[in-house]
Structure 1
Amino acid sequence: MALKVKPLTSNKKTIKKTKDIKQERFNEIMGNFPLFCTDFVKILDNFGELIPFKFNKEQADFVESMGKFNIILKSRQIGFSTVSLAICLWNAVNRPNSSYMIVSLDRKQVSTLFERLKLMNDNLPRDIYTFPVTVRDNKDELLLSNGSRIQISPPAEHIGRGSTYQYILLSEYAFYEIDQAKLLTSVTQALAKNPDSKIVIESTANGTSNYFYEVFNKSFKGNTNFKAYFYGWISDAHKTQFKTEINDAVGWYKSINRGQLMNKSDLTTDEDKRLHKAGATYAMLCWRQWKLTSMSTVDFQTEYPSTHTEAFKTSGRNVFDQGKIIDRLNNLFPPIDKEILKKGLPQTLHKWLGKGLSVYHLPKHNVKFYGGSDVSSGSGGDSSTLTLMDAEGVEVLSFHNNKISVYEFAEFLNIVGRLYNYAYLAIEKNSYGLPVIQRLREDYQYMNLYKHKTFDNRGKRKLILGWLTTEVTKSIMISDLKENFERGYILINSQETLQQMQLFIEDSKGKTGNKGGRNNHDDLVISHGLCIQAKKANKWYV
């Protein structure tokens, strides 16, 4: 029987089929950013070895959910600048004639980031696939043959003027020693007007006296067009990036504990228990103790925060116990939903929902309520504020708004006060408080108002409406608030009040007030202190 011989396939067809498969695979990778990173991008690990760039859990979360405008508050070395570098490179090779901007703290930091970007570009597999080649590679710019360019710059107020960028990274933004607001305005206007362009601000915290603090907090509450992210040290990224240090810390812990590893019985503080519950392993808690042997708790929480409020914890002569503030912030419940409140509040109050009015408990029959109020001009500076609590010391309502006029605020106090069983109100009479008190008494016949005691020249005692703030009375008010809060006699439900308490300090001259900085206020602290005084007076004129 004759052998059947299979005809030879054309060599040209084989080559064409191989090329088609290769091109198909290339197109698949180039159309998928995570695939591009794992297959084409190389980075240096902690030992100086080139490895494929595989996302950690936090990087994957950010890439999956990022929007057009993004702001990240983070612990150290989570890896978001690396993600941004890879995004710039991926877009640059994919999108001809596009531009990208990388801004960091100073020339040294920018150069470090740029070297990492060029390492990624130099290690693209150009021997296997066709990529745009490098046309220019200098200290400020990487230019590719398809016309795309990636630029770097230290911070400057007018970056981006006359340019258009597909992607902008502002790294360690909180530390820029220029007008951060002007820079952000400039680069935002330079962002390309297409659906794929993006801007990313990423930074560790740098206290509260900067624009990053303001933008992040507003964004975290959903009050800007930026999508806010927080990534703390209790993370998969931290376990990987600090693996060597964590192992050293475990060895150190065993050396001072008779060779024993940390276990549940060693969690003796509320902080350790909270961190462990939040996901910190025993090894990570060893590392935390090890780090605290050479740095203060405040510095640790700034560099390695476990919550976004902890990151902005300030050092200095803080009046209120910072640990207790953090604990309370970590256990807050949200105010009552707006739609529910619209059914339970008078129509005249609906316009303030979402504009500073937060309600935690609606009024109950036969319950006495006490309020404190700090009054401002309504011109956009300090806010007019109201704090209400019940007889048990639980905060039931908080209000702050810097655009409400004096006459509107008097009407607001009248409506809220009567709603809450004719609440007893202590209103600071200094400055704009006096006309509010007069309107409440004369126009609205509101009688349940705090009175302070004075004496005339003949020694006759007089009762005057309102709280008069002096150096002496302010120290009493703040001292009482501190004691009531730290001993747990009151329950503060307002996040804004607690955040202002974080910034409330005593200066070198013994004066108390908010820590200096852009848009730092203490008006809610004052209204809460006045609320304590109303409750302490134990009066009821109605």
Structure 2
Amino acid sequence: MATVNKQRQVREIVRCGKDPKYFFNKYVKIQHPTRGLISFATFPFQDVCIDDFVNHRYNVILKSRQLGISTLTAAYAVWLAIFYKDKNILVIATKLSVAMNFIKKVKVALKHLPPWLVLPELSTNNKTAVEFTNGSTIKAIPTSDDAGRSEALTLLIVDEAAFVRNFDELWMGLYPTLSTGGRAIVLSTPNGVGGQYYDLYMRADAGESEFNPIKLPWHVHPERADEWFENECKNLTQQQIAQELLCDFAASGETFLLAEHIERIRQQVRNPMEKWGPEMGVWVWKYPLTDHKYIISADVARGDAGDYSAFHVIDTNESEIVAEYKGKIPPDQFAILLNEAGMRY
């Protein structure tokens, strides 16, 4: 009988190591804010996220509040650390208390796993890190100028990236740590237009980067209906609704315009007719007409890769911009690009 049980345990270990969704739903416990300790029964939208974590090296998540995504990433970190050796997992949080809360979620999951399922033992166990005898580590730290710079990472998780102080500079230091094959999960609610997180998501959504975009507004949660949304909106401002529930970049920041005015303008936005040039940086809004006259207004960068070069092609007959470019290329290449635009118009 003992042999049968041992064989069953081995089969379960192998299955859990291959299938994180099975592992989460079968064995992981989480701390629910109102129901206490419960089994982690994942929702369909969470299952899709898990598949994306496995199938895509880089993921950027635009989410509403209270969808359990931080808990999901904590469970994913546990799965990666205990079933695979030498995994270096780093979590960047907005502040120390958030980092400690992430590790707390990791510890809750670990504490309630069957002992036979966790082959490596804990070698380090403190408020911001857990290390295993198989060489894997899960560490959570608050943001700082040199956070994670000296490490070669297996998985980087950036929680609430839109609110991380100096994330633009921080990302420039963190990205090279993934060069040896590391993966990244960058997640946040929106915090207005602009910044590194906004750029990461928008470029991913446009298919212009290696990042896989995941958008999770409030209604992806199967337990939330219109009545729930209406009740939540009663207690929130328009800006908070955009930020906490709707995943709306434009209306979530500190803007002079009202949210409804921004939405009306957004309805008039259209995609460019064509993109060409370096990194598809030239956006064409209208093609040239033989009986129209055009001028090009250009601004060349300093040439040190720290500034953008840009130009606009203006239709003098209609007084409108018909093409534009913004990008970081050397001045000599910018001159070639300007010549090409001039030839076309």
- Asked if these proteins are the same fold (TM beyond 0.5), I'd say yes
- 2:204/2:211 contact within 8 Å kept: yes
- Return the offset for 1:319: 12
Q: Which residue of 2 aligns with 1:91?
A: 80
- Return the offset for 1:327: 2.3
Q: Which residue of 2 aligns with 1:71?
A: 60
Distance, in Å, in 2 between the alignment partners of 1:233 and 1:387 is: 41
Going from structure 1 to structure 2, the CA distance change for 1:186 and 1:140 (only over 3 Å counts) comes to same
Q: Which residue of 2 aligns with 1:169?
A: 157
Going from structure 1 to structure 2, the CA distance change for 1:192 and 1:99 (only over 3 Å counts) comes to farther
Distance, in Å, in 2 between the alignment partners of 1:99 and 1:46 is: 29
Query: Superposition pairs for residues 118-267 of structure 1, below 5 Å?
Result: 118-126=107-115, 129=117, 131-177=119-165, 179-191=166-178, 193-194=180-181, 197-235=182-220, 237=221, 239-240=222-223, 243=224
The aligned amino acid for 2:92 is V
After TM superposition, the score normalised by the length of structure 1 is 0.55
The aligned amino acid for 2:16 is I
- Return the offset for 1:77: 2.1
**Out of 20, 23, 27, which is 1:36 matched to?**
23
Q: Which residue of 2 aligns with 1:7?
A: none
- 1:143/1:149 contact within 8 Å kept: yes
1:208-264 residue CA offsets vs partner (Å, 9 max, x unmatched): 3532223322333233333332222231x2x43xx5xxxxxxxxxxxxxxxxxxxxx
Greater share of strand residues, 1 or 2? 2
- Return the offset for 1:150: 1.4
Query: Superposition pairs for residues 415-426 of structure 1, below 5 Å?
Result: 415-417=343-345
- Return the offset for 1:408: 5.3
**3-state SS in 1 of match to 2:208:** coil
The aligned amino acid for 1:295 is L
Distance, in Å, in 1 between the alignment partners of 2:44 and 2:212 is: 19
Consecutive unaligned residues in structure 1, runs of 5 or more? 1-13, 244-282, 339-349, 418-542
Q: Which residue of 2 aligns with 1:476?
A: none
Distance, in Å, in 2 between the alignment partners of 1:221 and 1:233 is: 22
Which one scores higher on RCO, CA 8 angstroms, separation ≥ 6? 2
**Out of 373, 376, 399, which is 2:324 matched to?**
399
2:14 matches 1:27: yes
Going from structure 1 to structure 2, the CA distance change for 1:415 and 1:85 (only over 3 Å counts) comes to same
Consecutive unaligned residues in structure 2, runs of 5 or more? none
Distance, in Å, in 2 between the alignment partners of 1:312 and 1:229 is: 18
**3-state SS in 2 of match to 1:375:** strand
Distance, in Å, in 1 between the alignment partners of 2:317 and 2:31 is: 59
- Return the offset for 1:112: 1.5
Distance, in Å, in 2 between the alignment partners of 1:412 and 1:91 is: 50
The aligned amino acid for 1:78 is L
Q: Size of the alignment, in residue pairs?
A: 336
Distance, in Å, in 2 between the alignment partners of 1:353 and 1:137 is: 46
Q: Percent identity?
A: 17
Distance, in Å, in 2 between the alignment partners of 1:408 and 1:163 is: 40
- 2:100/2:127 contact within 8 Å kept: yes
1:139-197 residue CA offsets vs partner (Å, 9 max, x unmatched): 122122333221111001212243333222110111122x3233223333333724xx4
Distance, in Å, in 2 between the alignment partners of 1:104 and 1:79 is: 16
